[in-house]
Amino acid sequence: MKASDKVVLGLIQTSSEQHHQPNVDKTFAHIREAASRGAQIICTQELYTSDYFCQNHDEAHFDLAVEIPGELTTETAKLAESLGVVIISSIFEKRAPGVYHNTATVHDADGSLLGIYRKMHIPEDPGFHEKFYFTPGDTGFKAFDTRFGRIGVLICWDQWFPEAARLTAMQGAEILFYPTAIGVLPEEPETLKREFMDAWEIMHRSHAVANGCYVAAINRVGQEGDIRFWGDSFVSGPFGQILAQAGETPEILIAECDLSLIEKQRRTWPFLRDRRIDAYQGLLKRHGR
């Protein structure tokens, strides 16, 4: 049970390499540093244990996946318990032979595994061939009661879907975390990158406003293959204000959130109260025409 409405977030924005253990060691070191700076809920970037391997089709990349529970979740549990922090990890899950997911695990501050979330929306774009690797998630949209608050986790491509944010917030999530891998390809000019970044930021801030909650977006940085990941991880408050934002280099972003402001925002803008749930049947269709 949380003892205060104030909670400190730690977002681990870093570069990655191909091999598993160096990424794990580096991220665990960053988690320890974030905890030393007061972070209570700490989140990694998307697929933090390797480079972003979805840029091409290569069956050898399936060997990067890990089982849940397994050695990695055991080590993460020990780290969470030793530091007394919540750890959200985005990893490549091997569920069964031929069935793989892009999955987030949530460990509470006592080390217990509260549950997992499997990425629901899977993209297929130039440089982002995720449909080759990931089975669409089947966990539904979930929230987790942690020592420091009730949180929800969504992953990267999920960020563009207001339905995902809404349904997670409706589970009581006070903070939505989005571990992410987003960047630009070589042929995309700086002006286009700026447009993409603005859209990305606006989308997250709109989730915060529309749902009256905090939103944390965690991106990776650096050149990996053809993609330059732009970082700029940030935390938005429930009125859409940016509370803290990183740059385009590795950084541990720390932000304090006052969860009591959620009630204040929802009293001022009672969007959840005024939803016309009797008129939304069309959302269950692929298209309205």
pLDDT digits (tens, 9 = 90+) for 81-127: 999 999 999 999 999 999 999 999 999 999 999 999 999 999 999 99
Q: What is the pLDDT, as a whole number, of residue 2?
A: 64
Q: What number is the average pLDDT over the span 3-31?
A: 94
Q: What is the pLDDT, as a whole number, of residue 191?
A: 94
> Backbone phi, then psi, for 257, in 5-degree steps?
-120, 135
Q: Which residues are catalytic?
A: 46, 119, 156
Residue 96 CB neighbours (<10 A):
8
* Averaged confidence pLDDT in the chain: 96
For residue 283, pLDDT beyond 80: yes
Q: What is the pLDDT, as a whole number, of residue 101?
A: 98
User: Interhelix angle for 71-83 vs 20-36, to 10°?
Assistant: 10
What's the first-to-final CA gap in the chain, in angstroms?
A: 48
For residue 193, pLDDT beyond 70: yes
> Backbone phi, then psi, for 259, in 5-degree steps?
-70, -15
* Helix (H/G/I), strand (E/B), else coil: 118: strand
| pLDDT tens per residue across span 89-99 | 999 999 999 99
Single pTM value for the model: 0.97
DSSP H helical ranges for the chain: 20-36, 71-83, 162-169, 190-211, 260-268
| pLDDT tens per residue across span 218-247 | 999 999 999 999 999 999 999 999 999 999
- Identify the helix (H) or strand (E) that includes residue 92: strand 86-96
Q: What is the pLDDT, as a whole number, of residue 4?
A: 76
| pLDDT tens per residue across span 131-180 | 999 999 999 999 999 999 999 999 999 999 999 999 999 999 999 999 99
Q: Which domains does the chain have, with CATH numbers?
A: 6-284 (3.60.110.10)
Q: What number is the average pLDDT over the span 18-40?
A: 96
How far is 223 from 260, CA to CA, in rounded Å? 39
When pLDDT is cut at 50, 70 and 90, the band that residue 289 belongs to is confident
Q: Is 225 left (phi over 0), alpha (psi -120 to 50) or beta?
A: left
Q: What is the pLDDT, as a whole number, of residue 18?
A: 85
For residue 68, pLDDT beyond 90: yes
Of 235, 228, 232, 237, whose CA–CA distance to 251 is shortest?
A: 232
Q: What is the pLDDT, as a whole number, of residue 235?
A: 98
Of 24, 74, 49, 270, whose CA–CA distance to 181 is shortest?
A: 49
